[in-house]
Chains A and B, each alone.
Chain A
Amino acid sequence: EAQVTQNPRYLITVTGKKLTVTCSQNMNHEYMSWYRQDPGLGLRQIYYSMNVEVTDKGDVPEGYKVSRKEKRNFPLILESPSPNQTSLYFCASSSLQDLNYGYTFGSGTRLTVV
């Protein structure tokens, strides 16, 4: 089954403790992206990647890092999480050959930073 898999689904952590949220897709998609969703603000793009070793900032990249060492994986790294990063996070992927095919989204990761 074609899918985007995020882990973990839920995470509670403390301020300053480094964490990684994983994202993996099995569709051989070039384009992958991370979003955060906050009440009343919709989804905001954090980072995106056009291919292996090619990443770029979205609208809210501060406090986050990403890497794209393999085509299928696009982890989101919070080096020193803060409470304002408490949010619902989504990963998505799409074929760069046909961005008009649309996105496939993961099920989301609910992160709480205390």
Chain B
Amino acid sequence: KQEVTQIPAALSVPEGENLVLNCSFTDSAIYNLQWFRQDPGKGLTSLLLIQSSQREQTSGRLNASLDKSSGRSTLYIAASQPGDSATYLCAVLKNTGGFKTIFGAGTRLFVKA
């Protein structure tokens, strides 16, 4: 059964620091992996999606990598800002046994001004 784990569960950093959020998954048979941002009490905003054939995607200060063989993805945030404070979720879309989506529990990020 596919499991998705995110480490750390929470992170507090000073403004301007570069940081890495980790996501690991147990089954490499994925269609894609997606990173989301969720603000308190709000819905999910898609940040980056990496197809199974890709190694990384970039959007502004965000860079996401994917290593299917080791079952790992990282989200790199450069020059963090207080506005980056949110919960970051990764999710894998399986393409075996149906198109199911499995989410990690998230990393709660707090960027101090």
Interface positions of A (Cβ within 8 A of B): 31, 33, 35, 40-45, 48, 50, 56, 58-59, 90, 92, 99-108
Contact = CB atoms under 8 A, between A and B. Distances in A.
Interface stretch (B11-19, B42-50, B60-68, B74-82): B42-50
A17 to B, nearest CB: 25
Nearest to B47: A102
Contacts of B42: 107-108
Given A43-B89, A105-B44, A108-B42, A100 B101 contact: no
B93 interface: yes
Nearest to B1: A59
Q: Which of B6, B31, B46, B99 has most chain A Cβ within 10 Å?
A: B99
Q: Which of A48, A99, A101, A106 has most chain B Cβ within 10 Å?
A: A99
A108 B49 contact: no
B93 A42 contact: no
Given A43-B91, A43-B103, A90 B51 contact: no
Given A43-B91, A48-B99, A100 B51 contact: yes
B14 to A, nearest CB: 26
B102 interface: yes
A42 B87 CA distance: 10
